[in-house]
Amino acid sequence: MSVKIGYWAPQERYEPYQLLENTVLAEKHGFETVVTSDHFHPWFHTKASSGFAWVWMAAVAERTRKMEIGTGVTAPTMRYHPAIVAQAFATLGSMYPGRIILGVGTGEAMNEMPLGFGWPKFKERLDRLKEAIEVIRALWSGEFVSYEGTFYRLRNAKIYALQKKPIPIFVGAGGPKSAELAGRLADGLLTVVLSPEYYRQTIVPAFEKGARLAGKDPDEMEKMVELKLSFDEDYEKAEESCRCWMANEVPNVISLPISDPRELEKLGKKEGDIRAWHITTNPEDHIKVIEDHIKLGFNRIQLNSSSPDEKKFITRYGKEVLPYLKEKYGTNRR
């Protein structure tokens, strides 16, 4: 598979219109895909935003020409009924065929608890995700669907605005159970590599097991990774610009029933860090980081920049990083 280099659009970091402008600029400079976070609350409070991803995606699709657009990730389990997710993305797919991607996952407390939901244990969240994918797939068949699950029910439900091309589903996975579900029920995997060893020894075997149980060849399935980067000629500025994300790096934070961004921010300052961020003063340094992940088998690389000057990041990487990667690994290969 050829490799696609994409732009990660964090709703938390920018106001929706500024994020839109950044993404339009990213396509202009050669980024082929965009994946955006889908949250109700952001990961932090100070200078944060949190636009509605689906509305924003439609605006991006209108302002760009070819860029693929997806979520990283939507939780189709509590605040969103999976049938509504199916309808929303089918509508996007019918309007922008071949350009829409649905990333799904088990979610975060900060997005569900503010709307009155509890925060169940991981097993229930994974079971909900499994049922939700089944509901979405069934509705995308175009037939009238009745479904009786543990969590969701349908009574002769049918979606009329169907996508013209199948919409790929990626499952976000940070552990073996989610990775196996991705292989079994999805079209691809979306993850963050905490260590190459953990990815090779835990995530990959589980993903491949799930795919084979479903009669699929895991080598033919797509694998997407979020790479966390920050660039500035001033290293201290590039480093400081990542600190807003410290709550995101607190161990096992996904399992904690914390929904207030002010509390998440305090927790991040107390227990988080920025070790997951690749910080540099030279864009070419990140070529090796990206190549290392391509060698792990990823064919979709989403660059999540926390650079102090985002337009400079997009422009410099479009000129100094993307041409080399496209020539060696992408659609420009001869």
Gap between the Cα atoms of 186 and 166, Å rounded: 12
Gap between the Cα atoms of 11 and 52, Å rounded: 8
CB of 239 within 8 A of CB of 230? yes
Task: Please list, in sequence order, all residues whose beta carbon lies within 8 angstroms of the beta carbon of residue 161, skipping any fewer than 6 positions away.
Answer: 87, 90, 91, 94
DSSP per-residue string spanning 229-287: EEE-SSHHHHHHTTGGGGGGGSTTGGGS----HHHHHHHHHHH---TT-EEESSTTHHH
| Bridging pattern class, strands 300-305 and 68-71 | unpaired
- Active-site residues: which are they? 39, 108
What is residue 199's DSSP assignment?
Answer: I
Q: Count CB atoms within 10 A of the CB of residue 22.
A: 20
Gap between the Cα atoms of 270 and 37, Å rounded: 24
Task: Please list, in sequence order, all residues whose beta carbon lies within 8 angstroms of the beta carbon of residue 286, skipping any fewer than 6 positions away.
Answer: 227, 229, 231, 278, 280, 317, 321
